[in-house]
Amino acid sequence: MKKAAARHPETLLAHLGRDPASHFGAVNTPVYHASTLLFDSVEAMQEAGHRRLEKGKSSYGRSGTPTTFAFEDTVAALEGGYGAVAVSSGLQAITVTLMSFATAGSHLLMPDSVYFPARRICDSLLQRLGVETTFYDPAIGAGIAELIRDNTALVYLESPGSLTFEVQDVPAIVAAAQAAGVVTAIDNTWATPLYCTPRSLGVDVVLHAATKYLVGHSDAMLGVVVCGEQHYAQLRRTSQFLGCAAAPDDVYLGLRGLRTLAVRLERHQSTALRLCAWLAERPEVDRLLYPALPGHPQHAIWQRDFRGASGLFGLTLKPCKSEAVLALVDGLDLFGIGASWGGYESLMIVTDPDSARSATRWNPPGPSLRIHAGLEHPDDLIADLEAGFARFNEINRGQATLTG
């Protein structure tokens, strides 16, 4: 496709990562199942080995195939990066990013609202290798400057934060990091490149749990890291040295999911807004955690930096009995109970954000929940929630006992 930069993201989603002329006329880039790649000569094999850190080059199935490169190039173009590195999960995208910049004796800055397994890798494996991590208040903004040290290797962001949905002041944090010459990386899974492009806000490295909205159908594990030319070889080297190969069928499912991302996200967003409007009227609800709502503490930042909101949000309840919450969630018919999100189906889980924090506290009056608004008809979802609150109130009648 020519003149890609001038076109809208919806158009790019339909056309990037395809080359029918190279693939028998097939509309979609096929799945290449390959481990061994054969060469015409010893010299050709050595040459491929030397060039395997370059974009679109491979000497072995582990360093990628045309399916991998089609997915990588598509996400890189959507995020405004030079290139992308596909890996086998979102968590691997995080670990490849951290291990590309951390060195023994260096220091990382991570938001206190970070996806919990990212905290765990800092507090275990990286700590063991002599890397120190400071967790910071996600609302810190320009104040991050005071936490940057001479040995700070990376300022990491995630916006909005996992479970609690704080929106970070990305330009303010990036400005402080750039002034100190420190690399920045962000987890952009919630917004997808359609609703936020952090590289346009100055962030160096953008990563995704493609498992979520990019794949979009709850059937593949996939991660991807996007960056400028400056950091590309470094990220690709870490990924290849660690052996982080994305599986062929899963990168294909990532490409396939991208084709419908724009229409899916529109529906996820409108349903999330419908559910929030309904939940806001419920007497059992304390607070909704969704950046698109005017009452969200960083709503103005979201309006400034994002083009939309996806279907994942949180809420806190007023003080209530824990059995009432279980009756609500366990009895739901359409909302599944399970990890992950970004598929076509609705989910609801009970969360415990305070147990995953160290720099700030999360003390709502009652329990915290997280909802993924799927592609079902919103009226059916609301009817399911209404029945859930009826079960809740049957048990909760009388004295409130449980707090957050």
Ligand X SMILES: *Cc1c(COP(=O)(O)O)cnc(C)c1O
CA distance linking residue 328 with residue 80, whole number of Å? 43
Pairing of strands 312-317, 347-351: unpaired
Q: Closest separation between CB of residue 224 and ligand X, Å?
A: 10
From 32, 115, 232, 252, the catalytic residue: 115
- How far does the chain reach from its first CA to its final CA, in angstroms? 52
Check: CB of residue 261 under 8 Å from CB of residue 307: no
Q: Give the number of residues in contact with ligand X, rule: CB under 6 A.
A: 14
Residue 8, classified by CB atoms within 10 Å of its CB into exposed (0-12), middle (13-18) or buried (19+), is: exposed
Q: Closest separation between CB of residue 51 and ligand X, Å?
A: 29
Q: Applying CB under 6 A, which of residues 59, 113, 133, 189 lies at the interface with ligand X?
A: 189
Is 115 an annotated catalytic residue?
yes
Q: Applying CB under 6 A, which of residues 209, 245, 275, 348 lies at the interface with ligand X?
A: 209
Nearer of residues 158 and 284 to ligand X, judged by Cβ: 158
CA distance linking residue 352 with residue 366, whole number of Å? 11
CA distance linking residue 306 with residue 309, whole number of Å? 8
The window from 62-70, 85-93, 275-283, 346-354 that contacts ligand X (CB under 6 A) reads: 85-93
Residue 16's CB: how many other CB atoms inside 10 A?
22
The window from 19-27, 86-94, 174-182, 356-364 that contacts ligand X (CB under 6 A) reads: 86-94
Is 62 an annotated catalytic residue?
yes
89 contacts ligand X (rule: CB under 6 A): yes
From 51, 62, 256, 282, the catalytic residue: 62
Q: Applying CB under 6 A, which of residues 102, 121, 163, 221 lies at the interface with ligand X?
A: 221
Q: Closest separation between CB of residue 341 and ligand X, Å?
A: 7
From 55, 199, 212, 321, the catalytic residue: 212
Nearer of residues 135 and 389 to ligand X, judged by Cβ: 135
Residue 300's CB: how many other CB atoms inside 10 A?
12
Positive or negative, the CA dihedral 152, 158, 164, 167 is positive
Q: Which residue has the tokens 């996820």?
A: 268
Residue 50, classified by CB atoms within 10 Å of its CB into exposed (0-12), middle (13-18) or buried (19+), is: exposed
Q: Applying CB under 6 A, which of residues 187, 204, 250, 284 lies at the interface with ligand X?
A: 187
115 contacts ligand X (rule: CB under 6 A): yes
Q: Which residues are catalytic?
A: 62, 115, 187, 212
Binding residues for ligand X, rule: CB under 6 A, are: 89-91, 115, 158, 162, 187, 189, 209, 211-212, 221, 223, 340
